[in-house]
C-alpha cells in the first residue's frame, strides 16, 4: 500500500487537495485526522502544566546571568 500525506485546512466546508497523479479508476481510502486545535501555539502548550511553567521560569532566571552561557565558535563546528 502506498501513502500520500497532505495537510490542509477546511474552507467553506470543503477539503481541497492538489491534483493527484493517480490513474483514473484508482481506488483510494481516505482517513481524516482532525487536529485538536489549530489555534494552539507553542507558548500555550509549554505553559499548559505547572511543571512546564516552573521549568521555563527557572530557565529564564538562568538566562539573566551571563556566567551560565555556553559560547560556541561556529568556525570550529
Beta carbons of 6 and 17 less than 8 angstroms apart: yes
> Is residue 36 situated within a structural domain?
no
28, part of any domain: no
- The parent domain of residue 49 ranges over 43-76
pLDDT score of 7 more than 70: yes
Tell me, yes or no, whether 25 lies in a domain. no
Q: For all residues of the chain together, what is the average pLDDT? A: 87
Residue 54 has what pLDDT? 93
In a domain? residue 55: yes
Domain count, the chain: 1
Helix, coil or strand: residue 14: strand
Per-residue pLDDT reduced to its tens digit, 20-54: 889 999 999 999 888 876 566 778 878 889 999 99
Q: What is the pLDDT of residue 37?
A: 64
**Quick check: is 53 in a domain?**
yes
Q: Is residue 66 part of a domain?
A: yes
Least confident among 2-16, 35-49, 58-72: 35-49
Q: Is residue 15 part of a domain?
A: no
20: nearest Cα among 41, 4, 2: 4
Amino acid at each position: 500500500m502506498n501513502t500520500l500525506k497532505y495537510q490542509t485546512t477546511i474552507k467553506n466546508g470543503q477539503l481541497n487537495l492538489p491534483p493527484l497523479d493517480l490513474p483514473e479508476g484508482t481506488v483510494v481510502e481516505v482517513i481524516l485526522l482532525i487536529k485538536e486545535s489549530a489555534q494552539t501555539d507553542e507558548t500555550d502548550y509549554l505553559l499548559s502544566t505547572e511543571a512546564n511553567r516552573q521549568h521555563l521560569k527557572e530557565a529564564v532566571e538562568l538566562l539573566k546571568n551571563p556566567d551560565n552561557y555556553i559560547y560556541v565558535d561556529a568556525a570550529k563546528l
